[in-house]
Structure formats: C-alpha cells, structure tokens
Amino acid sequence: MWGALAAHDTMAVDLPTSIRRFSTKTPGCGVILITGASGRVARRTAELLAGDGQRLRLMTRNPQRAPKLTDAETVRGDFAEPATLKDAFTGVSAALVVSASGEPGERARLHRNAFQAAARAGVGHVVYLSLQGAAPDSKYPFSRDHYLSEQYLFAAGLPCTVLRNAFYIDMFLEKFDAEGVVRGPAQQGRGAFVSREDVARTAAAVLRKQPGGIYNVTGPEALSVADIARRLSTLVGRQLRYEDESADAARERLSRLESLAWRVDLSVGWFEAIAAGELKHTSGTVLRFTGTAPLSLEDYFRAFLKLLRALHLGQDRTSAG
C-alpha cells in the first residue's frame, strides 16, 4: 500500500493511517537530534536551529568534526554500528536522519538501523532527507535506495516527515571538467535543482513544525543541464558548456576512471534520471515551510560566492600555463 505513495507539490500525501495519526502531534520543544552533523546540510540545519535557541544533539562518526554550537551536545554515532545509536536517539523529541554514504541497497539498510533505533527510543518525530523521484523503478540507483529507505521508515511506525530533495544545484560544482565541459546522457531533460541552503532551511523549519507527510523540496524553476552551464558561465566569466553523450559512452568513459561499477551506475543514472524527467517538477515546499521562496541559481551563488571557486579551477590551470 505504501508503495503507491507519491509526493504532490506542497501537499502532504495520504499517509498510512498509523503515520497520519502520529503526525498531527504538537511539536515539542525538547532536544532535536541531527545525524551526520559534520556534513554540509546537517551542519547548516544545526546552525539555523541553534540560532533560534533550539537545544540540539549532534551525532557524527567523528566528534572532532562536529560544528561548535551553543546548547548542543555531541555524540559519536554511525548507522553502521547500531550499538552507537541507542545513546544518540534516546531522549530526543525529533530527529533529522541525513542519508548516509554507501552502496545503494546497503545504504538503505544503514538508514533502517537509524529508524529502528529511533522507534526503540520512542522518538516523537523523524525527518528523513530523501530524493525527489524516489521510486523502485527510477533510473538513479540512489532514488531506488531512498524509496527502500522510506519503506523502512514507514515500517518502523514512527511519526515522520519525508523531504524528497531535488538534485542539489551545488552538484554542478563537481561536474565540469578542467575544460569547463559537463558530459552525460541528460539530453534536453530538466531538473528543479535546489540549493543546499534551501534544503537546510526547509529541514530546520520542518523539524520545528513536524507536519508529517512527503514533500518535494525544489528550486524555483526546472532547468536543463545546458541552461545551468550557460547561467554559470555568466556568473564565473568563463565558458562552461554541456555536451550530450549516450549512456553507453558515458559508462565506458567513466569505467576507465572508476573501478567500482556501482559508482559508475550512480554517475550515469544521475543524468538519465534528469533525461527521464524524474526531477522536473517544481514545488512550493520551501516557501510553504520557510516563508521565503527558494533561491534562484544566481541569487544562491552570489550569496555563497566562495562555492564558485571550484569552477574557476580549470581557468586558473589554463592561465597558469
């Protein structure tokens, strides 16, 4: 039954009754757990919540790398080590479960460890960072993994909100080669790319409001990879471009650089999911929960100019001779 769930724009979808019942609970003001706290989205979410005076518990595999925030305690925790999760999840009113790294399938089992620990500890509400287009038949292996993770979350019977984030617009900072070319089988497909900043702002707001449901979290417009290359070119003053490539050619090229087949599948599937339109619909979720519209590509990178350094690298190398 839950397999038929889909996120519709900003509206919460019809959740299984057991979950809907819990999701009407009034948010508490207890401690909020943030997992993967040294990561970019988790760290920013924690900073935003701490700025509002929220008490936090930061779970990380490496406490030395946790952000230093007022009213925040740090615990070591790893989804791969269930014994570490009991202390992390005990006594918190809500938890943000940030998806981990790892091979698709195996990664969903790591998330299941987290959901089961949350259920055992009686956590009041779990917010899970999923992916727009999460489905068992997605072209993108992580979308299939997120779908499976969502099933594990629902099976744990916890009050929950699933945030299905669009692909981060930040991902393009890593996708251009030294010549300023991004290659892949995206064809003319479009994606409603979202900034990490809007993802973090939405997660922080949802942790406070605990609305329950499944929401697509997207940027303000659906852009093709070629559109993005063009608009980033203007921002960095350097020609960046998209070169379409067949899936087979992409697989062959990437297999020469990467020995793990599943990593190649991820790289190729990322573009194929865009070509298939799996992440093309914009939503009003960011506005709905944060009160502010999501940032355009230009507004985001102008606000976080340092991020663009990565795109100057090829140019620097060229000019350095």
> From the list 33, 78, 118, 265, which residue makes contact with ligand NAP (rule: CB under 6 A)?
78
Is residue 21 within a helix (H) or strand (E), and if so which, with residue range? helix 17-23
Radius of gyration of the chain (CA): 20
Binding to ligand NAP by residue 40, rule CB under 6 A? yes
Q: Please give the C-alpha separations between residue 129 and each of 174, 248, 317, in angstroms, as whole numbers.
A: 21, 31, 37
Q: Which is nearer to ligand NAP, 110 or 158 (CB)?
A: 110
Per rule CB under 6 A, count of chain residues that contact ligand NAP: 26
> How far apart (Å, rounded) are the C-alpha atoms in residues 134 and 142?
8
Residue of 7, 49, 50, 61 interacting with ligand NAP (CB under 6 A): 61
| Minimum CB distance to ligand NAP, residue 21 (Å) | 29
Task: Please state, in angstroms and rounded to a whole number, the distance separating the CA atoms of residues 23 and 96.
Answer: 15
Q: Does 38 bind ligand NAP (CB under 6 A)?
A: yes
Hey, which residues between 124 and 153 contact ligand NAP (CB under 6 A)?
Answer: 129, 131
> How do strand 72-76 and strand 94-97 relate by DSSP bridges?
unpaired
Segment near ligand NAP (CB under 6 A), from 67-75, 165-173, 228-236, 294-302? Answer: 165-173
* Sequence-distant contacts of 49-58: CB under 8 A, at least 24 apart: 49/204, 49/207, 49/208, 52/204, 52/208, 54/208, 55/30, 55/31, 56/31, 56/32, 57/31, 57/32, 57/33, 57/88, 57/92, 58/33, 58/34
How far apart are CB 26 and ligand NAP at their closest, in Å?
28
Contact call for residue 64 and ligand NAP (CB under 6 A): no
Question: Which residue's CB is nearer to ligand NAP, number 63 or number 238?
Answer: 63
Looking at 39, 212, 213, 219, which residue binds ligand NAP (CB under 6 A)?
39
- Tell me which of 7, 23, 34, 79 binds ligand NAP, using CB under 6 A: 79
- Cβ 164 to ligand NAP, closest distance in Å? 9
Nearest to 257 by CA among 177, 319, 317: 177
Q: Which of 19, 33, 37, 163 contacts ligand NAP by CB under 6 A?
A: 37
256 contacts 218 by C-beta, under 8 angstroms: no
Q: Does 217 bind ligand NAP (CB under 6 A)?
A: no
Sole binder of ligand NAP in the list 167, 172, 242, 301 (CB under 6 A): 167
Are the CB atoms for 119 and 92 separated by under 8 Å? no
Nearest C-alpha neighbor of 43 from the set 98, 107, 118 = 98
Residue 39 or 219: which CB sits closer to ligand NAP?
39
Q: Helices 225-236 and 309-319 meet at what angle, rounded to 10?
A: 70
Residues between 101 and 120 with contacts to ligand NAP, criterion CB under 6 A: 101, 110
CB contact at 8 A, 61 and 78: yes
Residue 74 sits in the site that holds ligand NAP (CB under 6 A): no
Residue with smaller CB distance to ligand NAP, 100 or 182: 100
CB of 279 to ligand NAP, least distance (A): 9
Q: Which residue is nearest to ligand NAP (CB)?
A: 39
Residues lying near ligand NAP in the complex (CB under 6 A): 35-42, 60-62, 78-80, 98-101, 110, 129, 131, 165, 167-168, 171, 196
